[in-house]
């Protein structure tokens, strides 16, 4: 089963998220991650949904999404190059004496320690899912007390003409 990232532009109305999530469930799709937020245009929201399925199944799902009231557009970002990022906050069991050691672990990931307490600290990291998973593996030995992740936000890459690509 192939992973797909779908962008759904919708009217910012109560119940739209429920209708979209229900459609996924009725069609037997699992939503691996979903993020919803405002857009550059007031009154519209964008949903970024990660799910699995083959190309034919995803095409059918997209056709069904278009039939929902308040859906403006549906784009399978996975069909072309796109940028995807996720945010995670990770609370790790650690004493103040371990701060330098943990800072050495999180720094190569361009992560930051954003809170320090007497027996724990919180690490903030942004990046693709694989980067966050890799940092989590390294932090497991200290004891991950709590984890929260945003899910992916994604956007299609700008298309660069072949002649301009050489100068970029």
Q: What is the pLDDT of residues 57-103, one digit of tens each?
A: 999 999 999 999 999 999 999 999 999 999 999 999 999 889 999 99
Q: Which residues contact 76 (CB under 8 A, 6 or more apart)?
A: 4, 5, 6, 58, 62
Report the half-sphere exposure of 69 (CA within 13 A, side-chain side): 6
Q: At what angle do helices 129-139 and 99-106 cross, to 10 degrees?
A: 150
pTM comes to 0.83
d(CA 29, CA 98): 43
Report helix, strand or coil for 115. Answer: strand
The pLDDT of residue 162 is 54
| pLDDT tens sequence across 14-53 | 999 999 999 999 999 999 999 999 999 999 999 999 999 9
């Amino acid at each position: 089963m192939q992973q797909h990232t779908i962008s759904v532009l919708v009217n910012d109305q109560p119940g739209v998220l429920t209708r979209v999530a229900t459609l996924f469930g009725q069609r037997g799709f699992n939503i691996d991650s979903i993020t919803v937020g405002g857009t550059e245009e007031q009154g519209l929201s964008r949903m970024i949904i990660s799910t699995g399925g083959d190309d034919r199944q995803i095409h059918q799902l997209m056709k069904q999404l278009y039939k929902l009231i308040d859906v403006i557009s549906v784009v399978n970002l996975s069909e072309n190059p796109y940028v995807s990022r996720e945010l995670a906050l990770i609370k790790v069991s650690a004493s103040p004496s371990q701060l330098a050691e943990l800072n050495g672990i999180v720094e190569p990931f361009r992560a930051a320690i954003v809170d320090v307490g007497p027996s724990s600290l919180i690490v903030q990291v942004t990046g693709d899912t694989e980067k966050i998973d890799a940092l989590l593996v390294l932090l497991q030995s200290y004891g991950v007390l709590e984890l929260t992740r945003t899910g992916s936000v994604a956007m299609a890459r700008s298309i660069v003409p072949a002649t301009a690509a050489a100068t970029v």
